[in-house]
Amino acid sequence: LRRIALAATGAGEVLTMIQTLRTLIVDDEPLAIERLQILAGQQDGIALVGTASDGASALRMVDALSPDLLLCDIAMPDLDGLQVAAALDELDNPPAIVFVTAFDRYAVAAFDVAAVDYLLKPVSPDRLGRAIARVREWRATDRASTKKSQWINEFWVQNRGEMLRVDAAQVDLVEAERDYMRLHVGGRSWLIHQTIKSLEARMNPDQFLRIHRSKMVRRNGIVGLKHHGDGAWSVDLGEGGVHRIGRTYLHDVKAIMQA
């Protein structure tokens, strides 16, 4: 434990303590490692235990050093960051994984390996600080009793140069835009690099319903179904608008009226 501050209060002085996170940096670019070393060294409660330039070395160093945290690149030759994280997930007490990458296209895959955070290069000191705070929260939870769901329960989305968490249960509408999907949440929307077919397979069918070859909606966001008189139907999402139902999906959508 590292002493961070002494705060004077009316009741006297209160000692604030913070646990030191033993941290391993993994990146195949020397300049990226150097920058992360500098940024991490500026954070309270971070002790750098080493660096690795490839995935295989990272796994060996985890075995030897038992770090609390990996700041890990994703796009690396041979064993990439996702494969490293998947291997560490098999450990009884795995370190926290924070991905640090130049690409947002791995954001959905990061869910599969339970990344604690997802940072886009170049990383700012404030953003790294928030990621470290999130790691401390993650380590404070009872991770052994938490069973990972087969369904996506959160998304990482790019917003103004950083990645934000979006609760899947708050998504109103998912629309395909070429090789991307647009997630609509209230009055805002974000693009993620994913196809609707692969995304549908990961969305909880008790919560989301495919209504068209290019659209999915949240079930409890459906206000009603509208019949247009020509055999066509639409889903009414209230403030989320009215969306035509594809003929292929009409039977499944209408079945919710008998559910």
Write the pLDDT tens digit of every residue in 98-127.
Answer: 999 998 888 777 777 878 999 999 999 999
- pLDDT the model gives residue 180: 87
Residue 8 has pLDDT above 70, yes or no: no
Pick from 80-84, 136-140, 157-161, 224-228: least confident: 157-161
- pLDDT the model gives residue 25: 98
pTM: 0.70
- pLDDT the model gives residue 13: 44
Q: CA-based angle 180:184:188, to the nearest 5?
A: 110
Q: Ranked by mean pLDDT, which of 20-29, 109-118, 142-151, 154-163 comes out on top?
A: 20-29
137-72-127-69 Cα dihedral, nearest 10 degrees: 30
Angle between the 30-41 and 125-140 helix axes, to the nearest 10 degrees?
Answer: 70
pLDDT confidence bin for 153, thresholds 50/70/90: confident
Letter for the amino acid at 34? E
Give 7-62 as a DSSP string: EEETTEEEEEEE--EEEEEE-S-HHHHHHHHHHHHTSTTEEEEEEESSHHHHHHHH
Across 38-49, average pLDDT: 96
Q: What does pLDDT average to over the chain?
A: 87
State how far the Cα of 254 lies from the Cα of 17, in Å rounded to an integer.
57
Considering only CA atoms, which of 104, 28, 119, 107 is closest in space to residue 69? 119
